[in-house]
């Protein structure tokens, strides 16, 4: 399978402070890859480097086979980008935003009109085509960003926190769109700090913390690596206590541990999940 994205020993420093530290990973063509991490982990900086918006201080990044520094234009032609802050123009209509992007990418008519129509239909915004973007809801704006990012038919789509600040229904609708695009063969990298988002959407997950990739794999691989069974024990009193987490290779082993305890009060056993693994690795909880 072809490599869509490759990072080799990538570093980024801002004012001599490292914010991305020796990042190495690859994404296969057609894969849905999730970068998970808390605020400030370096996810946006990584996406900005992958999409040619920021240059790496050190290391090599290839996207669609092109070097992001030396062949930035070729990279831009192959990628679609949906950034955190809505970058659509509120004082233009939905159609005008699409039109502008199409012209910037030198898509000629009648193909431009056809593609704008096709993608607005796809994200269910065709009936809002003449409305000012500032009158759209947050979820609609995000759908417009996605439609716009798809207009020049990119091979790889980058989504930085695509569902942040959206209500659960709108988030589900965006997940459906993202999954459908991936099913059609689109390679995707998304960043998020929502556990359920990566669990639901992504083939592979990279956990980032303090600029470093601290674990990488499918959810099953991450669980197998860190332990599929978990015993949670309450230490101290109910009011002034804390929880101790102990991982076991399997759920059965966690259950055996529980059976062996003379006093089982305050001990709970269950399968581990991504959040448990994240807290175990970083010592911190996500929002
Ligand atoms: N242009 C910049 N100049 C200086 N420091 C920066 C710049 N951009 C990002 N940083 C710093 O780099 C670190 C990583 O930020 P980044 O936005 O990549 O994290 P993140 O994981 O995407 O978090 P969030 O989810 O909050 O966006 C932060 O400490 C941030 O303050």
C-alpha distances out from residue 11 to 14, 56, 57, 59, 60, Å: 10, 6, 6, 6, 9
Q: Residue 73 Cα, ligand 1 centroid: separation in angstroms?
A: 25
Pick among 3.40.50.12160, 3.40.50.150, 3.40.50.300, 3.90.550.10: CATH of 3-222: 3.40.50.300
Q: Residues with Cβ within 6 A of ligand 1? A: 14, 19, 37, 39-45, 193
What are the residue boundaries of the structural domains of the chain, listed by start?
Answer: 3-222, 228-271
Q: Which of 192, 105, 119, 111 is nearest to 152 (CA)?
A: 105
Q: Which atom of ligand 1 is nearest to the CA of 84?
A: 27
Q: What is the mean pLDDT of each run of 10 residues along the chain (287 residues)?
A: 91 95 96 92 94 96 96 95 82 95 93 94 93 92 92 93 86 91 94 89 94 94 94 79 87 94 88 90 65
Say what the ipTM of the complex is: 0.93
**Structural contact between residues 189 and 5, judged by C-beta atoms closer than 8 angstroms:** yes
Question: What pLDDT was estimated at residue 235?
Answer: 81
CB half-sphere exposure, 94, CA atoms < 13 A = 24
Q: Which atom of ligand 1 is nearest to the CA of 46?
A: 18
Name 132's Cβ contacts closer than 8 Å, sequence gap at least 6: 90, 91, 92, 93
Choose which residue among 36, 39, 40 to substitute to test ligand 1 binding: the one with the highest number of ligand atoms within 8 A of its C-beta. 40
């Amino acid at each position: 399978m072809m490599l869509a994205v490759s990072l080799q020993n990538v570093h980024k420093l801002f004012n001599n402070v490292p914010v991305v530290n020796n990042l190495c990973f690859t994404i296969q063509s057609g894969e849905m890859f999730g970068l998970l991490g808390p605020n400030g982990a370096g996810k946006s900086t990584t996406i900005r480097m992958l999409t040619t918006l920021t240059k790496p201080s050190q290391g090599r990044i290839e996207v669609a086979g092109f070097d992001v520094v030396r062949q930035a234009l070729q990279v831009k032609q192959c990628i679609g980008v949906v950034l955190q802050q809505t970058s659509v123009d509120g004082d233009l209509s939905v159609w005008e935003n699409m039109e502008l992007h199409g012209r910037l990418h030198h898509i000629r008519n009648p193909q431009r009109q056809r593609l704008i129509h096709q993608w607005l239909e796809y994200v269910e915004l065709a009936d809002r085509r003449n409305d000012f973007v500032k009158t759209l809801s947050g979820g609609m704006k995000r759908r417009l960003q996605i439609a716009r990012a798809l207009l020049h038919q990119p091979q790889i789509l980058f989504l930085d926190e695509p569902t942040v600040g959206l209500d659960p229904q709108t988030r589900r609708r965006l997940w459906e769109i993202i999954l459908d695009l991936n099913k059609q063969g689109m390679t995707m990298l998304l960043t998020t700090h929502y556990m359920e988002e990566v669990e639901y959407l992504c083939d592979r997950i990279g956990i980032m913390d303090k600029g470093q990739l601290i674990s990488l794999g499918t959810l099953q691989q991450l669980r197998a690596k860190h332990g599929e069974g978990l015993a949670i024990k309450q230490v101290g009193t109910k009011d002034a206590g804390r929880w101790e987490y102990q991982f076991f290779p399997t759920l059965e082993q966690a259950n055996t541990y529980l059976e062996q305890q003379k006093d089982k009060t305050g001990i709970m056993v269950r399968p581990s999940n991504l959040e448990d693994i994240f807290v175990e690795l970083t010592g911190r909880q996500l929002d």
